């Protein structure tokens, strides 16, 4: 997850100058230049406040961050409204694109009423902080953080304990419902002042296509990959039924959500020991290797940096190592959710992450550094172009690198002494699919739920019901205990109270495979694409750098074409990558029920 101006709340009040005479193209150009100066200044100030608030959670830091975000949000809203003065003018391409992006840059638009604007900023900061402070106390036990609960969910095979842990954390969401309802009300008011029907329409307008076309594009991509997910779901349900018995896991229907090794059932990799084929042991355990080598958090980040420098990227600046947060402090509350920052919009890069020494965080570090190198690559672009081609690109880049964390790569960096023998592909691909393919429907439904909540298609009185309707429709999972509208289960997922759009992650899970396929070809890899690593290949690195440097200066199809030769997002690369696994899954589940 990245932290940058277009993906957060933008802000400072700008006076709405009345147009005594018709504006000219020169006026538009001057307006954009001034707007970029103001946005950069306000963004840096707000980012510094947000950094402190995330790393020192107190009422005072929450207020300071809220004030900074309010100023930045009001600035962006005021500029977005003023930008409409130039609608219809014949402008040069760069100015026209900047004005368009300015009007679409907001994630949360401040209402013009100062009291409502202040309330919105405080609610937004308060919900994120409340989530960061969230804990659950089991009967007779000590308070548990999300990280501690997640560790137990990952390893326990006691369905009663898993259900208690699941229900305990979801209590955190229930306390956010009232604030979230007000957040929706005020956020929609701001979006309507900018000419959008609601916040969902505003979010969907950011992709160089009409909002409805974007929603249809997501559905098209999902239909491409759905058969693979259904096969994976059938296999996992069958194996969990063997593990827990017919009274816990049905032969048909949805999988109980608490059994999937993850609080939100969004990734199932923690179940690999239960699901792994008997003859598909890859012969190594990366978590065990990292621990045995006494790898610390800083060294985990060094591995990530080394991958990017092998492609031709610069080393991370000295300030990165001085200012980042790599481990959870013992003396204060922090937001541990991994995020990458570029505080000054040039090279004050930072990573904020409570790193655990395991294979999952090894990949996550690479993902977050992907944000950092992208932020740095486009730092010479004008301010309004300092973002990814679309937000899915930002999320995809680090994962493109993670797809190259193959056994061959691990051998090159000294984490393996030898690579596994041929024929171990199924276990490797199953482990990967439990993360990547299991995630796809979850990556889709988060914003589908929000779009319904924002538009009023689903009223507040049915929010939780609608959440589980979507979880059932797309993921094929069900809650372990009865739910009602007294609960607010969406609030138990960070990105909901933090107001972070989520369809970007779905796009990223498609784009990363499309990009990997293209970069592997550039690197000259003729083996199956799941075995290809671009580590150390300067030609692939040069192509990647050129695309990253474009930032948001061109529509995303141009950036995609520069890297892949294609102008349309294409999920067939996902199917290509997992083709051996698809065949194996269908063999394993022959005669078993599929779907739910």
- Cα-based distances in Å from 190 to 110, 118, 197, 349: 5, 12, 10, 31
β-bridge pairing 255-256 and 477-478: parallel
Distance CA 363, CA 477 (A): 26
Distance CA 195, CA 313 (A): 41
User: 538-549 vs 391-402: helix axis angle to the nearest 10?
Assistant: 170
Cα dihedral 314→319→324→326 (10° resolution): 70
Distance CA 516, CA 532 (A): 9
Could you tell me if 54 and 334 are in contact, meaning their C-beta atoms sit under 8 angstroms apart?
A: yes
Active site residue 460: no
Per annotation, catalytic residue among 235, 505, 535, 577: 505
Could you tell me if 387 and 6 are in contact, meaning their C-beta atoms sit under 8 angstroms apart?
A: yes
Distance, C-alpha 594 to centroid of its chain: 29
User: 59-83 vs 114-133: helix axis angle to the nearest 10?
Assistant: 130
Per annotation, catalytic residue among 338, 359, 466, 579: 338
Per annotation, catalytic residue among 233, 258, 394, 495: 495
Per annotation, catalytic residue among 233, 258, 366, 367: 367
In 3-state terms the chain splits into helix, strand, coil percentages (rounded to 5) of 60, 5, 35
Could you tell me if 114 and 53 are in contact, meaning their C-beta atoms sit under 8 angstroms apart?
A: no
β-bridge pairing 339-342 and 349-352: antiparallel
Active site residue 338: yes
Per annotation, catalytic residue among 42, 368, 509, 516: 368
Q: How many beta carbons lie within 10 A of that of residue 355, not counting itself?
A: 24
Per annotation, catalytic residue among 36, 47, 82, 395: 395
Per annotation, catalytic residue among 337, 394, 509, 530: 337
Per annotation, catalytic residue among 170, 258, 366, 371: 371
Q: Which two three-digit tokens encode residue 69? A: 């975000």
Distance, C-alpha 330 to centroid of its chain: 27
Active site residue 394: no
Active site residue 395: yes
Element (H, E) at 404: none
Of 32, 72, 46, give the one whose Cα is nearest residue 382.
32
Active site residue 368: yes
Active site residue 495: yes
Active site residue 233: no
> Catalytic amino acids?
337-338, 367-368, 371, 395, 495, 505
């Amino acid at each position: 997850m990245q932290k940058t101006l277009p993906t957060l709340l933008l802000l400072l009040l700008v006076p709405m100058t009345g147009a005594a005479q018709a504006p000219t193209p020169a006026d538009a150009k001057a307006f954009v230049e001034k707007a970029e100066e103001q946005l950069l200044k306000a963004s840096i100030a707000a980012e510094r406040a947000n950094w402190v608030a995330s790393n020192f959670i107190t009422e005072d830091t929450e207020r300071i961050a809220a004030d900074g975000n309010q100023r930045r949000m009001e600035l962006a809203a005021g500029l977005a409204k003023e930008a409409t003065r130039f609608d219809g003018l014949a402008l040069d391409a760069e100015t026209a694109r900047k004005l368009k992006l300015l009007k679409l840059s907001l994630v949360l638009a401040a209402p013009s009423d100062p009291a409502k604007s202040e309330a919105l900023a405080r609610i937004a900061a308060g919900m994120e902080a409340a989530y960061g402070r969230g804990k659950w106390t089991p009967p007779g036990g000590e308070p548990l953080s999300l990280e501690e609960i997640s560790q137990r969910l990952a390893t326990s095979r006691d369905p009663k304990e898993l259900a208690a842990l699941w229900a305990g954390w979801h209590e955190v969401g229930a306390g956010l419902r009232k604030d979230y309802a007000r957040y929706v009300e005020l956020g929609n008011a701001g979006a309507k002042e900018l000419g959008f029907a609601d916040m969902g329409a505003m979010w969907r307008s950011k992709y160089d296509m009409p909002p409805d076309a974007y929603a249809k594009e997501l559905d098209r991509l999902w239909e491409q990959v759905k058969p693979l997910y259904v096969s994976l779901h059938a296999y996992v349900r069958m194996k969990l039924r063997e593990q827990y018995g017919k009274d816990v896991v049905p032969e048909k229907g949805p999988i109980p959500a608490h059994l999937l090794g993850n609080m939100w059932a969004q990734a199932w990799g923690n179940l690999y020991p239960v699901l792994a084929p008997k003859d598909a042991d890859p012969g190594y355990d990366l978590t065990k290797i990292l621990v045995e080598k006494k790898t610390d958090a800083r060294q985990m980040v060094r591995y990530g940096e080394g991958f990017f420098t092998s492609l031709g990227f610069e080393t991370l600046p000295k300030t990165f190592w001085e200012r980042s947060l790599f481990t959870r402090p013992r003396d204060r509350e922090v937001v541990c959710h991994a995020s990458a920052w570029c505080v000054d919009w040039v090279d004050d890069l930072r990573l904020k992450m409570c790193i655990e020494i395991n294979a999952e965080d090894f990949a996550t570090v690479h993902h977050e550094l992907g944000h950092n190198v992208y932020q740095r690559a486009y730092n010479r672009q004008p301010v309004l172009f300092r973002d990814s081609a679309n937000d899915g690109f930002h999320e995809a880049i680090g994962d493109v690198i993670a797809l190259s964390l193959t056994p061959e790569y691990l051998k090159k960096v000294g984490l393996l002494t030898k690579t596994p023998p041929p024929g171990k592909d199924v276990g490797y691909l199953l482990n990967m699919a439990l993360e990547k393919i299991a995630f796809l429907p979850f990556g889709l439904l988060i914003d589908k739920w929000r779009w319904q909540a924002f538009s009023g298609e689903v009223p507040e009185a049915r929010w939780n019901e609608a959440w589980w309707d979507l979880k059932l429709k797309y993921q094929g999972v069900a809650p372990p205990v009865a739910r009602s509208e007294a609960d607010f289960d969406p609030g138990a997922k960070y990105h909901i109270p933090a107001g972070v759009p989520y369809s970007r992650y779905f796009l990223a899970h498609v784009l990363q495979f499309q990009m990997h396929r293209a970069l592997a070809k550039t690197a000259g890899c003729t083996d199956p694409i799941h075995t290809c690593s671009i580590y150390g290949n300067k030609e692939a690195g040069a192509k990647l750098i050129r695309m990253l440097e474009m930032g948001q200066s061109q529509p995303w199809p141009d950036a995609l074409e520069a890297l892949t030769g294609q102008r349309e997002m294409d999920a067939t690369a996902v199917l290509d990558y997992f083709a051996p696994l698809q065949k194996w899954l269908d063999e394993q589940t022959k005669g078993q029920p599929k779907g739910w």
